[in-house]
Amino acid sequence: MTRQRINIHQIAKLTALAIVLNMFEFFLPSPIYGVKPGIANIIILFAFVKFNFQSAVYISLIRVFVSSLLLGTFLTPSFFLSLFGAFISLLFLYFCKFLSKNFFSLFSFSILSALGHIIGQFIIVRIFIIPDNGIFYLLPIFLLFGFIFSLINAYVLTKVITSSN
Amino acid sequence: MFKLFKPGDLVVFIICFFSIILIFINFYRVPSGSFISIENNNQTKEYSLSSKSVIELEGITIEINSGRVRVVKSSCKNQYCIMQGWISKLNQSILCLPNLTKITIKSNDNNITHDSTAY
């Protein structure tokens, strides 16, 4: 696996793809409100693995802003949830940078960033939106779904990368 | 080339999976109570759950055995209270409306109660 230099065109292309996946995910029906597969994370992980951490940060943050503008949720609580989730997710990805590539693959990165996203959202919900400890009863449900979907995402991305090589 | 699954992934997988399971067990564990209160014809009586006894009231017989409670015999028509079987967890209850009886498991510890935001 070789890391390539990334230019602004590639970031723009990948961001557009991430926004499309985010919009698609928005229209997917969900049995539990708030449980989403997080397929836009596939693109961020792709950028992280193929290029570098910096490009993943760009794509993630631009995606959050642009998709909130398109969906009309800019500066609403759901926008801040999404933004802070993305921040913590990127923080977890930053620590993934120091993991050895011989022992850890996409599956680890995907699991850690998905769990980071959920933890970040719960922190902001607990502090600002629902200041009650009862909210943590939902935490294991969301963590379990995030865990399952992150495994599926990692599998899809591994297939994409192996077929593109 | 790109290998599908590397050994470090297994470690991350197992750690995350078991921590999620632990959080699940921690949040959804229902504590057991320490005594029961029986309301029968507007009178409330309390019994310890640790004792082993059979309580006979008006038209209804209640058995307490090793932390569990059940209705053994009842004079009512539908016998729903008997069909419910044993109860042992905090805040569970058995009702028998024809006999005006309510059996509830309670705890001395006031901290462990259900709140409205938990579901």
Domains of chain B, each with CATH number or no CATH = 35-118 (2.60.320.10)
* Chain B positions in Cβ-Cβ contact with residue A103 (cut-off 8 Å): 6-8
**What's residue A150's pLDDT?**
93
In a mutational test of the A interface, the residue from B10, B20, B115 whose CB has the highest number of chain A CBs within 10 Å is: B20
3-state secondary structure of A86: helix
**What tokens appear for B33 in the block?**
């109570």
Average of per-residue pLDDT across B58-79: 88
What one-letter code names the amino acid at A52?
A: N
Q: Is the ipTM of this complex over 0.85?
A: no
> Which one of A100, A134, A158 has the shortest CB-CB distance to B2?
A158
Record: contact B20-A140, CB cut-off 8 A: yes
The rounded distance, in Å, linking the Cα atoms of A106 and A103 is 10
**What's residue A149's pLDDT?**
93
Record: contact B118-A137, CB cut-off 8 A: yes
Classify residue A12 by its DSSP letter. Answer: H
In a mutational test of the B interface, the residue from A95, A97, A102, A103 whose CB has the highest number of chain B CBs within 10 Å is: A103
* pLDDT tens over chain A, length 165 residues: 455 666 888 899 999 999 999 999 888 888 888 788 889 999 999 999 888 899 999 999 999 999 999 999 899 988 999 999 999 999 999 998 888 888 888 899 999 999 999 999 999 999 988 887 778 888 898 999 999 999 999 999 999 988 887
- The H-assigned helical ranges of B1-119 are 7-28, 80-83
The rounded distance, in Å, linking the Cα atoms of A52 and A112 is 17
Residue A13 CB neighbour total at 10 angstroms: 12
CA A56 distance to own-chain centroid: 10
**What's residue B109's pLDDT?**
67
Higher per-residue confidence, B17 vs B67: B17
Average of per-residue pLDDT across B65-76: 88
Confidence of residue B118 (pLDDT cuts 50, 70, 90): very low
Over residues B8-33, the pLDDT tens digits come to: 888 889 999 999 999 888 887 777 77
Going by C-alpha positions, the residue among B23, B18, B1, B3 that lies closest to residue A111 is B18
Over residues B79-89, the pLDDT tens digits come to: 888 998 888 88
* Chain A positions in Cβ-Cβ contact with residue B6 (cut-off 8 Å): 102-105, 107-108
Query: pTM of the prediction?
Result: 0.72
Average of per-residue pLDDT across B44-56: 86
B67, B49 contact by CB (below 8 A): yes
A110, A150 contact by CB (below 8 A): yes
Average pLDDT taken over every residue of chain B: 82
Record: contact A103-B119, CB cut-off 8 A: no
A79, A46 contact by CB (below 8 A): no
* Chain B positions in Cβ-Cβ contact with residue A112 (cut-off 8 Å): 12, 16
**What's residue B113's pLDDT?**
53
The rounded distance, in Å, linking the Cα atoms of B38 and B42 is 10
* Chain B positions in Cβ-Cβ contact with residue A129 (cut-off 8 Å): none
Record: contact A147-B1, CB cut-off 8 A: no
- 3-state SS of A106-146 is HHHHHHHHHHHHHHHHHHHHHHHHCCCHHHHHCHHHHHHHH
State the nearest Cα–Cα gap between A46 and chain B, in angstroms: 13
The answer, yes or no, to whether residue B119 has pLDDT greater than 50, is no
